[in-house]
């Protein structure tokens, strides 16, 4: 070290850092410091004696730190070993120039060095001056350039694009394999040829322009044009043309990359079309699009998207805005779906329907959002894009549909009918609650053809056949079959089905309502049985039976009637039955029927019928109105009885009574006459000899006369009865004074009784219209009864008054009275009040019956007010305005 120092001092002499032992001083030193290359001075001992400023800068080390120190110390053993041969050669006096890679302390460096030996005045080499260039960067660049060239050649060789070189005259100078593939010409064919071979006629004008631009040094990028192949195919070509310059920068030609974009073009055209379609589709669907970058929170909405939310133009939207406009009820669903989509584990898909609130008016809208999350390499969600569509209307429609389905289901479930529906596939897919409850099965059990399991085995085939036939014809049907109820009982069901049609009017299955008609069916069977019985009875009946409709048209006659007339059933219908009625009765019988029907009264008439055997028979036809269950008039039903025998009998009876009464009356008239004559004679006799027996004889004659009168009355009553029964009691009505009649009748009674005072109060003025003799008969009857049944009383009161539109006659006695239960009965024929006290009173029991008949025929009323042992009050009312009827 000391030596080195000494040496250094020798060289430098000054101890100055820069000068060292080399003796570079002053101007030289400054000169060397200004040199861009590194300069060193190394002595025979391989000590660094000088480094310039460039060295210091390059290695980042001060000169002081390295001068006077062995080079090996600075560059390290490896580096030193590498350069040592060159150092020794230089120190041996030979100039050295080398380039080599040496490991230096900062790393491997590539250096270029020139060592120039330094000789003293004796020519002894005492060191060398080294010019060292660090060419590491240059070498690197060279290496890259070298690689590039190699790559380029490979690219050119293997490129799918045609790479064509041409000079400024347009002559081809190079032609790669791709060019051959694309254009069909070989390199040999093309080199030296004009590039215009490749240009279609209608594109020839392009070439001069391209060349013009190239001469100006412009690069032509992606110029799309057409080129022609060897086999005359026109190709879409994208050209990238760069000028080629020589080392002086003069443009000497061009490198042309031609890419066949024919397919790409086609693809692009298709893409454009489909994009256009998509765009139109998107526009027409009002599909909004959006993009969300989770990392930055940036949210981008398309115009359509903003419209859905009714965001005013110019207003910014962000994720918070988006969240704030989710319908409160749907926040959980929406956020849940977003989070699920952004899960790294998931597929990133997002498809959700929820409600938003519009910005402008907070109106809820239904939207459907679909999207896709893209994840980066670390699995973080990077981009979330998607679409949004306002589906409020669809939702509303859906809701309406759902509502209507729900309504239908609710209705279907709540009607008492059992309802099922089948679809286009023939299978039943709906059974309402009523059905399911009825069968006690589930919808799943009943669906398709499960319901058939519960159909009675005897009915199943018929059901299936009917259903299939109806389905083929798309026609509604009605069928009855037995279905097992939940209690295991098979019951008859009426299944009434209608075809269903969709909006286009296509048949899509059936809807059917079913009712349990088991009870009705049994009733119906019962009714049928009853009808059969009724028919049998009706045909067996000895009377004719008939029915009419509401228009008096005959609808039914029984077998008996048919036997009588000898006409077939049909001929009796309507008014056909009249054919066999005698001409004389043909008008009267229907007229009476019409009259009765108009009043809905009992119909009764007699007519003569020409029987099939030629005999004329008297028939009594009687009928009653009959009504439907709802009370509506249905017509008349009745019977026809052959009363010919009865009629004959009656006539005989009538004749008998007439005869009897006439035959009786002649002797009675005679007896009566003589008795009365005798009485007259007797009364006019004054011989006192007869005085003693006078009373006895007289009373005997009086009694005879009375009895004859009574007998006369009884005969009259019998005759009246006969007349009433045969409907032949005739009235001869005139206007007469009722009050006077009452007085006259009372006077007649007074002659027959000495016990009773007959008191008449006559407040009646004017006349009434009626049969005077018959009314007199009634009064006589009432008064006779009053006398007869009040043996212990001494007065009978008669009053005649006007009351409203009636004349009222009251006859009051103070006799034995009549029990309330008999008040009605006493007006019936042959009725006599039973009881001890009554038995002593004689009579036929027809007087009041006749009286009642007479009063009724005058449209009046007769009744009694009485109590046992408290006398009786008989009241007769007669209308004042009565006319002939």
Partner 1 sequence: MDKSAYQILVIDDDPDIGLMIKIVLEYKGYKVLVAERPDKAATHIREKLPDLIVMDMLLSGVDGTDICKQLKQDPLTAPVPIIMISAHPNAKEICMEAGADDFVLKPFDIQDLISKISWLLSSRQTK
Binding site for partner 1 (CB under 8 A): 661-662, 665-674, 676-677, 680-681, 708, 712, 716, 719, 730, 732, 773
Residue with Cβ nearer partner 1 (34 or 747) = 747
Residue with Cβ nearer partner 1 (728 or 836) = 728
* d(C-alpha 64, C-alpha 802), whole Å: 172
Give min distance, CB of 641 to partner 1, in A.
30
Contact indicator for 603, 596 with CB cutoff of 8 Å: yes
User: Taking phi first (over 0 means left), then psi (-120 to 50 degrees means alpha), and beta for anything else, what does residue 115 get?
Assistant: beta
Q: Which is nearest to 306 in space by CA: 390, 393, 391? A: 390
DSSP state letter for 171: B
Residue with Cβ nearer partner 1 (659 or 697) = 659
Q: Which is nearest to 99 in space by CA: 125, 71, 145, 131? A: 131
Residue with Cβ nearer partner 1 (580 or 772) = 772
Give min distance, CB of 658 to partner 1, in A.
9
Contact indicator for 777, 784 with CB cutoff of 8 Å: no
Residue with Cβ nearer partner 1 (592 or 698) = 698
* d(C-alpha 688, C-alpha 694), whole Å: 9
Residue with Cβ nearer partner 1 (217 or 673) = 673
With b for 16 or more beta-carbon neighbours within 10 A and e for fewer, the 575-585 pattern comes to ebbeebbeeeb
Contact indicator for 185, 271 with CB cutoff of 8 Å: no
Residue with Cβ nearer partner 1 (409 or 709) = 709
Give min distance, CB of 730 to partner 1, in A.
6
**C-beta atoms surrounding 194 within 10 Å:** 14
Residue with Cβ nearer partner 1 (262 or 676) = 676
Map tokens 């009383």 to a residue: 793
Residue with Cβ nearer partner 1 (146 or 663) = 663
Contact indicator for 849, 829 with CB cutoff of 8 Å: yes
Give min distance, CB of 864 to partner 1, in A.
27
Q: Which is nearest to 239 in space by CA: 252, 225, 253? A: 225
Q: Residue 369 is inside which H or E element, if any?
A: strand 364-375
Residue with Cβ nearer partner 1 (665 or 868) = 665
**C-beta atoms surrounding 470 within 10 Å:** 17
Give min distance, CB of 882 to partner 1, in A.
19
* d(C-alpha 262, C-alpha 239), whole Å: 13
Give min distance, CB of 862 to partner 1, in A.
21
Give min distance, CB of 668 to partner 1, in A.
5
What is the DSSP code string of 800-838? EEEETTEEEEEEE--SS---GGGTTGGGSTT----SHHH
- Could you give the maximum distance between any two Cα atoms of the chain, in Å? 247
Cα dihedral across residues 473, 479, 482, 483: positive or negative: positive
Tokens at residue 29, please? 């030193």
Instruction: Provide the 3-class DSSP secondary structure of residue 193.
Output: coil
Residue with Cβ nearer partner 1 (1 or 681) = 681
Give min distance, CB of 773 to partner 1, in A.
8
Residue with Cβ nearer partner 1 (352 or 668) = 668
Alpha helices in 316-456 (DSSP H): 319-324, 331-342, 392-414, 433-439, 443-446
Residue with Cβ nearer partner 1 (164 or 846) = 846
Q: What share of the chain is helix, strand, coil (3-state, %, to 5)?
A: 45, 30, 25
Give min distance, CB of 689 to partner 1, in A.
21
Give min distance, CB of 712 to partner 1, in A.
5
Alpha helices in 417-456 (DSSP H): 433-439, 443-446
Give min distance, CB of 691 to partner 1, in A.
22
Give min distance, CB of 664 to partner 1, in A.
9
* d(C-alpha 547, C-alpha 603), whole Å: 12
Residue with Cβ nearer partner 1 (732 or 836) = 732
Instruction: Please give the C-alpha separations between residue 176 and each of 258, 437, 847, in angstroms, as whole numbers.
Output: 11, 87, 153
418 CB-near residues (< 8 Å, 6+ apart): 431, 432, 434, 435, 438, 493, 513, 514, 515, 516
Give min distance, CB of 671 to partner 1, in A.
8
Q: Residue 129 is inside which H or E element, if any?
A: strand 125-134
Residue with Cβ nearer partner 1 (343 or 773) = 773
* d(C-alpha 840, C-alpha 176), whole Å: 162
Q: What are residue 776's phi and psi, to 5 degrees?
A: -60, -40
Give min distance, CB of 822 to partner 1, in A.
30
Q: Which is nearest to 627 in space by CA: 639, 614, 636? A: 636
């Amino acid at each position: 070290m000391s030596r080195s120092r000494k040496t250094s001092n020798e060289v430098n002499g000054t101890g100055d850092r820069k000068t060292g032992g080399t003796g570079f001083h002053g101007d030289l030193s400054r000169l060397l410091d200004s040199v861009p290359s590194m300069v060193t001075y190394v002595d025979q001992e391989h000590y660094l004696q000088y480094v310039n400023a460039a060295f210091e800068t390059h290695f980042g080390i001060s000169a002081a730190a390295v001068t006077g120190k062995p080079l090996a110390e600075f560059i390290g053993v490896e580096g030193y070993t590498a350069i040592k041969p060159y150092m020794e050669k230089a120190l041996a006096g030979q100039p050295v120039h080398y380039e080599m890679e040496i490991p230096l302390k900062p790393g491997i460096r590539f250096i270029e060095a020139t060592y120039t030996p330094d000789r003293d005045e004796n020519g002894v080499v005492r060191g060398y001056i080294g010019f060292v260039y660090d060419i590491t960067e240059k070498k690197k660049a060279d290496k890259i350039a070298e690689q590039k060239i190699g790559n380029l050649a490979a690219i050119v060789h293997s490129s799918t694009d045609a790479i064509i070189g041409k000079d400024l005259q347009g002559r081809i100078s190079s032609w790669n394999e791709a060019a051959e593939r694309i254009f069909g010409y070989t390199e040999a064919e093309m080199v030296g040829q004009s590039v215009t071979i490749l240009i279609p006629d209608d594109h020839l004008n392009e070439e001069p322009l391209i060349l013009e631009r190239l001469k100006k040094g412009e690069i032509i990028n992606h110029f799309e044009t057409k080129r022609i192949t060897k086999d005359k195919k026109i190709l879409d070509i994208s050209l990238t043309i760069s000028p080629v310059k020589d080392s002086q920068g003069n443009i000497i030609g061009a490198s042309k990359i031609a890419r066949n974009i024919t397919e790409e073009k086609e693809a692009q055209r298709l893409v454009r079309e489909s994009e256009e379609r998509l765009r139109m589709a998107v526009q027409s669907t009002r599909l909004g699009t959006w993009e969300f970058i989770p990392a930055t929170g940036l949210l981008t909405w398309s115009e359509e998207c903003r419209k859905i939310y009714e965001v005013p133009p110019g207003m910014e939207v962000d994720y918070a805005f988006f969240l704030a406009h989710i319908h409160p009820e749907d926040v959980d669903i929406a956020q849940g779906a977003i989070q699920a989509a952004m899960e790294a584990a998931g597929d990133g898909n997002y498809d959700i329907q929820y409600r938003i609130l519009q910005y402008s008016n907070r109106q809820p809208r239904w939207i459907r959002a679909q999207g896709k999350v893209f994840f980066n390499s670390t699995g973080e969600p990077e981009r979330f894009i998607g679409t949004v569509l306002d589906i409020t209307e669809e939702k509303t429609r859906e809701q309406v549909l759902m509502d209507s389905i729900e309504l239908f289901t609710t209705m279907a479930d709540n009607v008492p009918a059992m309802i099922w529906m089948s679809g286009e596939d023939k299978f039943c897919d709906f059974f309402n609650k009523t059905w399911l409850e009825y069968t006690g099965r589930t919808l799943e059990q009943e669906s398709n053809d499960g319901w058939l399991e519960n159909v009675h085995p005897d009915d199943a085939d018929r059901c299936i056949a009917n259903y299939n036939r109806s389905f083929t014809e798309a026609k509604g049907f009605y069928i009855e079959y037995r279905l097992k109820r939940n209690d295991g009982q098979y019951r008859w069901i009426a299944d009434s089905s209608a075809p269903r049609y969709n909006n286009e009017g296509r048949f899509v299955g059936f809807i059917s309502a079913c009712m349990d008609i088991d009870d009705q069916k049994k009733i119906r069977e019962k009714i049928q049985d009853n009808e059969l019985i009724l028919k049998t009875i009706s045909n067996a009946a000895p009377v004719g039976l008939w029915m009419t409709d509401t228009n008096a048209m005959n609808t039914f006659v029984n077998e008996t009637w048919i036997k009588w007339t000898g006409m077939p059933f049909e001929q009796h219908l309507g008014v056909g039955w009249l054919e066999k009625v005698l001409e004389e009765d043909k008008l009267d019988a229907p007229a009476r029927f019409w009259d009765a029907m108009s009043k809905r009264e009992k119909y009764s008439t007699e007519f003569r019928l020409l029987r099939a055997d030629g005999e004329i028979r008297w028939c009594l036809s009687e009928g009653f109105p009959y009504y439907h269950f709802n009370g509506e008039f249905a017509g008349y039903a009745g019977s026809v009885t052959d009363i010919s025998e009865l009629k004959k009998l009656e006539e005989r009876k009538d004749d008998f009574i007439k005869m009897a009464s006439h035959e009786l009356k002649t002797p009675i008239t005679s007896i009566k006459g003589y008795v009365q004559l005798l009485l007259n004679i007797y009364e006019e006799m004054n011989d006192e000899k007869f005085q003693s027996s006078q009373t006895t004889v007289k009373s005997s004659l009086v009694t005879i006369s009375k009895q004859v009168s009574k007998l006369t009355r009884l005969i009259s009553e019998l005759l009246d009865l006969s007349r009433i029964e045969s409907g032949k009691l005739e009235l001869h009505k005139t206007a007469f004074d009722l009050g006077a009649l009452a007085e006259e009748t009372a006077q007649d009674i007074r002659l027959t009784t000495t016990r009773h005072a007959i008191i008449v109060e006559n407040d009646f003025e004017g006349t009434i219209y009626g049969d005077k003799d018959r009314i007199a008969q009634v009064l006589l009857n009432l008064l006779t009864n009053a006398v007869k049944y009040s043996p212990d009383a001494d007065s009978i009161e008669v009053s005649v008054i006007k009351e409203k539109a009636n004349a009222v006659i009251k006859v009051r006695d103070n006799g034995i009275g009549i029990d309330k239960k008999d008040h009605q009965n006493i007006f019936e024929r042959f009725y006599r009040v039973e009881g001890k006290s009554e038995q002593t009173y004689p009579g036929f029991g027809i007087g009041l019956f006749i009286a009642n008949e007479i009063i009724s025929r005058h449209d009046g009323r007769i009744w009694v007010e009485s109590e046992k042992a408290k006398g009786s009050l008989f009241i007769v009312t007669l209308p004042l305005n009565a006319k002939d009827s």
